[in-house]
Amino acid sequence: MTRAVVALGANLGDREATLLAAARDLAAAEGVELVAVSPLLDTVAVRVEGEDPDAPRYLNGVALAETTLSPHALLDLLQAVEARHGRVRGARWGDRTLDIDLILYGGRVVKDERLTVPHPRAHERDFVLSPWLALDPSAVLMGHGRVEDLLRRIGDTTRPLGGAESSGAPPSTGRAEGGEPA
């Protein structure tokens, strides 16, 4: 099995319910064993121009999974889960009922018209790095370095769900008994 890092986010509808349902869908999928899901973090929407404080805020989290699926089969699964939860592929960088990105797939590099792994912008996104660090304090983003160092470099603007601004310290691990999502 191959370890995959998957980022989940939503800024439309019942964000928390959607993200938890998506995690359950991933856990139930054939060829995927969900190892852990991070706590959900509240984050400002990011557009191509930068942060957009006027857009609906996102909830974001990261899931660690073991999979027997190929990178492209896993991408197909992630996109099917997005569609099941109302994702309509439209404007890039737009608002979403659900966004799931494959951040890392073992030690593999994939670059084609459908998929780039490691994710090309993960190293500059606190909404990916902060929840990932919470699950795996020794995490390394291939080609960029330790997740902890990357997050320190860019800063952490994420907030715990319903909480105050992040202190920069990782939130609780979100690990649940038996590998179930937290």
Q: Nearest-CA neighbor of 122 among 145, 108, 103?
A: 103
Tell me which residues are annotated as active site. 87, 96, 99, 101
